[in-house]
Amino acid sequence: MTKAFSEQEVLALARRAYQEGSATFEIERANCALLVIDMQDEFVKPHWTPFWVPEATRQVPQIKRLLEACRAYRVPVIYTAFARTHHYLDRPLAGPFMPNRYAEEDAAWFRAGTIWSELAPQEDEIVLYKPSYGAFYDTPLETILKNLHKDTVIICGTLTNFCCGTTARQAYERGFKVVFGSDITATDDPAMQQPELQVLRKGFARVLALEEILTELSS
């Protein structure tokens, strides 16, 4: 006979998955690539734009540690950035209607897609210029990962609940294993960090702190 579940039971199950759930896949270093999402001047350079994410600036030393570890372990590093691509004709048409846009956006911002100097890519590292939130949307990222024979992506950068979270969801839907850094991703409103991590933890990614990721990579 099929068990009947009370409302309280299903609510408790959901809450447990959001707060305590953990994906069960193993992290195999040889199968990993690091995605550094949008750590560019517009988000990281203090006081320069209304899009500045102060927490992203504070996390630069942490992300740098992960970069250095991945380079030492020969884990490929792929950067993303918003930039002026295809005369802006590759953007979602509904974008301009969203309240996260500012009138000054058409000034000098989000054109060159310059990665913050302390995290600058090395010569052999790829920088993908993307037209929207997710790094898989209208970019060759999936093809690049498959050509590198990588089935696991480690995500750091900003914003947790926009570009990082959308990339995690897109990676999951394409069959990739997702490792999401809990303290190496940042939001423009810190109150939004934990809710996004809880959703990703339940359904899309293995959510780990930097020290946990470094331990996994070292072993």
What are the strands, taking DSSP E only, across the chain?
Answer: 32-37, 77-82, 126-130, 152-158, 177-186, 206-208
pLDDT reading at 1 higher than 60: yes
Whole-angstrom Cα distance, residue 132 to residue 170?
12
Domains in the chain, please, with CATH?
27-218 (3.40.50.850)
Task: Please check the confidence at residue 130 and state whether its pLDDT lies above 70.
Answer: yes
A 10 A CB-CB count for 212 gives: 16
Q: Which of 69, 60, 75, 77 is nearest to 123 (CA)?
A: 77
Place of tokens 């992300």: 63
How confident is the model over 34-53, as pLDDT tens digits?
Answer: 999 999 999 999 999 999 99
pLDDT tens readout for residues 2-36: 789 999 999 999 999 999 999 999 999 999 999 99
d(CA 73, CA 70): 5
80 and 128 Cβ atoms separated by less than 8 Å: yes
Query: Structure pTM?
Result: 0.95
Residue written as tokens 């790829």? 126
* Average pLDDT score over residue span 193-200: 98
Q: In what order do the strands lie in the sheet with 177-186?
A: 126-130, 77-82, 32-37, 152-158, 177-186, 206-208
Residues facing residue 214 across a β-bridge: none
